[in-house]
Chain A
């Protein structure tokens, strides 16, 4: 059981480029959550997805950010035209569903925009 796998671990992008962050949930998990963590701050919810569906994206900025969780393959968080303020650690968590099921987090992707 490989756990939640995120890649890349570190990503450097120039302002204006696109960043694509990948998350493969634990085997058997069909619920994926994305969180952003700024330095010295807590985890902020961005989006909650199930296979092929966005369930809640209330924490996601309206522009430049999008997420998907296709029927096959990992979940993708895409940030277009990155700006310096997008620099943060992005964590993915997965669960088998329901409020009483614990999350399992990945190790995160650290995005640096230069």
Chain B
């Protein structure tokens, strides 16, 4: 069964600090992995998308990494801001499948 597990479930950090969110998956055969940011009361917004051959992708202060051998991904947020407070969702697609597998998300709270 395809699964995506994210950790930690929730995280509280101080403004300006860095943090790293984790995503482990069992989806096979693998096609791509995406990270989304979901603000409270809003729809998810795409941050990065990586395919099998890519192991790092950056989008501003967000850097995603992918290790397709160990089936792990991380999202690193640098110099956090209050506006980074949101849920971060890892989504993995399998080859030939139109239905990706969603993680439950990591809830990040950035305090001033």
Contact = CB atoms under 8 A, between A and B. Distances in A.
Interface in A1-17: 4, 6
A25 interface: no
Contacts of B93: 99-100
Interface string B86-112: 000101011111111011110000000
Contact of A100 (B32, B43, B45, B102): B32
Nearest to B9: A40
Given A100-B31, A104-B46, A108-B43, A48 B51 contact: no
A22 interface: no
Nearest to B104: A42
B76 interface: no
B49 interface: yes
Interface residues of B, number: 26
23 contacts: A4-B43, A42-B105, A43-B44, A43-B89, A48-B99, A55-B98, A56-B99, A58-B99, A97-B98, A99-B31, A99-B94, A99-B96, A100-B93, A102-B34, A102-B46, A103-B100, A105-B36, A105-B43, A105-B44, A105-B45, A106-B43, A108-B43, A110-B41
Given A43-B102, A99-B95, A106-B43, 6 more contacts: A43-B44, A91-B43, A93-B43, A103-B44, A105-B36, A107-B43
Interface of B: 31-32, 34, 36, 41-46, 49, 51, 89, 91, 93-100, 102-105
